[in-house]
Amino acid sequence: MKINLQIADYRIRLTEAQDYPAFSWPMHPFGSFLDRSDLHPDIVITITVVEKLPNFSQGPLRFDACQGLWRLHETDAGLLLVSLDTRTHQPCALALITKNFSHMEVWTLGEQTASGKGWVPMKILNPLVEVCLLTRLAREGGLLLHSAGVLSPTSGYIFTGQSGAGKSTLSEFFNTDGASVLSDERMIIRKSGDTFLIHGTPWVGSGAFAKNESGPLTELFCISHGAQHRIDRLSPSAVLALILPQCFLPHWDRSVIESTMAFLSDLIAHVPCQRLTFAKQPDVVDYIQNQLTRTTLVAS
């Protein structure tokens, strides 16, 4: 079985040679990220379904995601990712990842149902694909941000903030107003020439918004709930302090943290970044657009 995905212009190919059935696939919202172009993939994942995981010697621990999720260990060839079953906290998949994060060989325990033996692609995609994608973004100029993203015919907005800050609420309001909501949980930002682009991802929040679309980023908001709508300018240092905790950083690859900080500094220097405090009312959409229009008129 072969699964081709496209996320933020990265093509990802999963190949399972034994042709076991894939359970719970395609799962919403990954269906809209399926890639039918069959172009050369950027990340290749070869999957083998097994009854027992192979025995690999685990080198020094590079990163532990905690909460019974996954661990990364060093090896001579690259990294060994150990994915854990969230119920038993026992390994359910192993992946050898090359040093350039372009190839991954995966062994996953088969799942048994009344209809036979198969495998669950989501156990491969999370976190195995995310680990490779985060590292490639950091190395090649990009960022995965805990945020919602919205496109209108003239604007591209990012709304970032901690859980409960209002990302899904704003996504609902903009969706009702006719805007295109790319995600209400995680957005990818990449740079193309002099333009920062926002890309939707299949990782969703409570509103389950996800579109495989992209467009120019024109405004970034650090959000929180409040008694009334208000937009305030922020200094670059204040923006960085608010955005950095919402970034998904490849802590297992310390060599790229510096380049990630440079990307953030470039973003803050070229994209207007403001604080948005808003009451939970749909008219916040009109408020944002009116305030930005007024600011543009005053500046011109």
Q: Which of 105, 139, 173 is the last residue of a domain?
A: 139
Q: How far from 131 is each of 86, 261, 276, CA to CA, in Å?
A: 18, 19, 31
User: What is the pLDDT averaged over residues 218-227?
Assistant: 97
Indicate the number of domains in the chain.
2
Ranges 5-9, 222-226, 289-293: which has the least confidence:
289-293
Q: Which of 139, 174, 196 is the last residue of a domain?
A: 139
User: What is the pLDDT averaged over residues 202-212?
Assistant: 94
Domain limits for position 295: 141-299
Q: Are residues 252 and 263 in the same domain?
A: yes
Q: How far from 49 is each of 30, 126, 269, 274, CA to CA, in Å?
A: 21, 17, 48, 48
CB 286 within 8 A of CB 229: no
Q: Are residues 148 and 290 in the same domain?
A: yes
Q: How far apart are CA 210 and CA 93, in angstroms?
A: 27
Q: Are residues 189 and 67 in the same domain?
A: no
Q: Are residues 132 and 17 in the same domain?
A: yes
What's 3-43 look like in SS3?
A: EEEEECCEEEEEEECCCCCECCCCCCCHHHHECCCCCCCCE
For residue 267, the model assigns a pLDDT of 97
For residue 300, the model assigns a pLDDT of 40
Nearest to 224 by CA among 183, 295, 284: 284
Q: Are residues 191 and 53 in the same domain?
A: no
Q: Are residues 14 and 132 in the same domain?
A: yes
Q: Are residues 108 and 220 in the same domain?
A: no
Q: How far apart are CA 18 and CA 40, in angstroms?
A: 22
Q: Which of 139, 168, 197 is the last residue of a domain?
A: 139
> What CATH number is attached to the domain comprising 199?
3.90.228.20
Q: Are residues 169 and 135 in the same domain?
A: no
Q: What is the pLDDT of residues 11-60, one digit of tens each?
A: 999 999 999 999 989 888 899 999 988 789 999 999 999 999 999 888 99
Q: What is the pLDDT of residues 69-117, one digit of tens each?
A: 899 999 888 899 999 988 888 999 999 999 999 999 999 999 988 878 9
- pLDDT class of 229 with cuts at 50, 70, 90: very high
Q: What is the pTM of this model?
A: 0.94
Q: Are residues 173 and 286 in the same domain?
A: yes
Token representation of residue 261: 């900080």
Q: Are residues 134 and 145 in the same domain?
A: no
Burial of 227 (C-beta count, 10 Å sphere; 0-12/13-18/19+): exposed
Q: Are residues 223 and 168 in the same domain?
A: yes
CB 92 within 8 A of CB 86: no
Average pLDDT, the chain: 93
Q: Are residues 287 and 150 in the same domain?
A: yes
